[in-house]
Amino acid sequence: DAKTTQPNSMESNEEEPVHLPCNHSTISGTDYIHWYRQLPSQGPEYVIHGLTSNVNNRMASLAIAEDRKSSTLILHRATLRDAAVYYCILMPLRRGSTLGRLYFGRGTQLTVWP
């Protein structure tokens, strides 16, 4: 499966936008780009996913490069509650399999300062 590369850590101030980058240079044409986050002492939480076009939801925006070799998760106004580990994961379309297996990398630890 194709792998992703993320910075180990990032910092932001409260109420400022945060751009979390992810490189996936070996992505295949049928790989979806998923983002999950894990708050302290909790299980991972789905944030957003996309295939080719940019995506918006109530939590965040996902900007996907035209060549799909990188993507950026955008938190428009960071809050203290957004401090978490953010995982960028590729989920392939597998022939003969309808299961959503997620293989987590190390992710980016986001620190938000008041």
* Site membership for another protein, residue 31 (CB under 8 A): yes
CB 91 within 8 A of CB 34: yes
Return the residue of 42, 58, 81, 114 that touches another protein, per CB under 8 A.
42
Nearer to another protein, 14 or 32 (CB): 32
Instruction: Kindly tell me which of 53 and 98 has the beta carbon lying closer to another protein.
Output: 98
3-state secondary structure 48-112: EEECCCCEECCCCEEEECCCCCEEEEEECCCCHHHCEEEEEEEECCCCCCCCCCCCCCCCEEEEE
CB 11 to another protein: min, Å: 18
Interacting residue with another protein among 3, 25, 26, 103 (CB under 8 A): 103
Task: State in angstroms the smallest separation of the CB of 64 from another protein.
Answer: 14
